[in-house]
Chain A
Amino acid sequence: MIDVQNLTKHYGPVTAIRDVSFRVEPGQIVGFLGPNGAGKSTTMRILSCFMPASTGTARVAGFDVFSESMEVRRRIGYLPESVPLYSELRVADYLDFVAEVKGVGRAQRKARVGEVMERCHISDVSRRMIGKLSKGYRQRVGLAQAIVSDPAVLILDEPTIGLDPQQITEIRALIKSLAGDHTVILSTHILPEVSMICQGVVIINRGSIVAQGPIDRLVEEFFPTARVHVQFAGPSAAVREGLTRIPGVVGVHDEPSSDGLASYVVESARGRDVRGEIFQLAAQQHWELRELRRAGMTLEEVFIRIVAGEETEAERATATSPAAEAPPPAEAPA
């Protein structure tokens, strides 16, 4: 549904995105992740036909965003990051304008606008001036204008920013309910949001794609082993030894712990749960087991690993002066 190939965009001497390629399958919700300034908004502006790319091609709903821009625009709903709305218009009038401009027929328009306001929970402010609305309402009006023509593809730039926790939950539920009939690409830097509502993820950093695919596969790729946290109040050397001997365990790492207990992360082959064996071992040896839990391998960790990894690599590449190689200063005591 969205097919981006080798997209590059220069703003004068600055390269915002470099050689970006990714695909989004129909009916999927894909999260576009990256730190601030990574090029998320630039990519979305190109996809939404607001500005052309310097080089490369992007096809949305089967049409090229540059040469068949009108066809693309008929099939997308776009919510820019800043949620730009006409503050002097009333909510219902504004949505009616958007619906008309996007080709919703006169007959269906009123019903359609009402339906969308219901869906975005803004019916109670339909006669209010947009400029007088709170940030949360504005955000929802912005989302409403994106979906009012029932477009096949939705491009949402940070749709939940500036909302309170309850509104965030509502908007996420709304976006999730769009999957299937609609293809959604949404950018965010809130990682749990992506794991919650997206099937796939595209991670961008410093203008280039660094990882993409279904979330489970990415996690698997970056954490090939299953991991278990354990904590003992027992003889640390013996415990360590014992844990290593458990069949299937490929590594035992010490973990810093604040209360003087011995903590470890036990790595084993993926799909193999060693928690039973650890418990048996502790029971046999009369070691006092304080904690035993599976470590969640989240997207967050993947993201931090990728982005942080990139950063240190880049630093290493640029660190040529002796000052940069000096050991880091000791951390100040808390």
Chain B
Amino acid sequence: MSGPDAVHGEMPGFFPGRPGGERDEPLLDMIFDRRPLPPGAPPEMHDLARMLTVVAGPAEPGELAGEATVLAAFARLASPAGISPAASRSARRRLSVRPRRARLPMAAALVTAAAGLGSIAAAYVGVLPGPIQQMAHVTVGAPLPPHGSAHRPAAVANPRPNMTLAPGISVTRPAHSAVPRRIHSGTASHWPRHRMSVQGPGHVAASCIPWPGTTPSAAKPSPTPSPTPSAAKASPSPSAAKASPTPSPSATRPPVGASQSPVGADCPYIPATGPAQAAVPNVWVSPPSGDGGS
């Protein structure tokens, strides 16, 4: 044969213009291996070698434009602590999404455990209502419930001032005052104290816990809720607590802010000193009066 009998497009495996191009495979391998071509190699081979040398050459303008971004990612991800295999595994675990159905039982278990531990702790502190405290005494050996403390509401929110929140709780608060003041203070006592907080004008949250200094058997509910400290009551249980009609220094809470406050100054809502009239509390809860306190 004197020449190619097929056009190049019909014989794609052959080198263009060179029938039997498979014979150039050693040259092509030399180009791939970046070895110098023999002087007698076809010029196309040299052109190919030159092109491939260029394409494998150093960076051209713009090709390193993303360096700052990649290095920032490196600095963020590849800190000495984060580059360790353990940290990488930890990061992968953090990135992995736990199935939702696996998270729900875990959350329920955590909530249950927290509630149980909290209940046990409350039982040992002795702040549970009487029947529950009694049950805790039987079951987990918690202290016996104080006599007469049958019920203590945990917290009451009252959007209006000067109204009774619940049986045994009365709140007196000037509507214009939004700054929480100390309700009472006192020395250490095994009785939890009344707690109140003002969460803004017209919003009062109160915690009704027996007043320190009173004995469990002395607490009596007031027949009628009263906005005055002397008439307020803390325990709604008629059988357990009765409020004294008149304030008693030992059983009822003095005017908020009065220096003769029976409790200490650890309550953030009660000013430590000040005239009784001037220090009318914006919120406060009267302590329960004892049976024999009146």
Partners in one complex: no
Which residues in A have some Cβ–Cβ distance to B below 8 Å? none
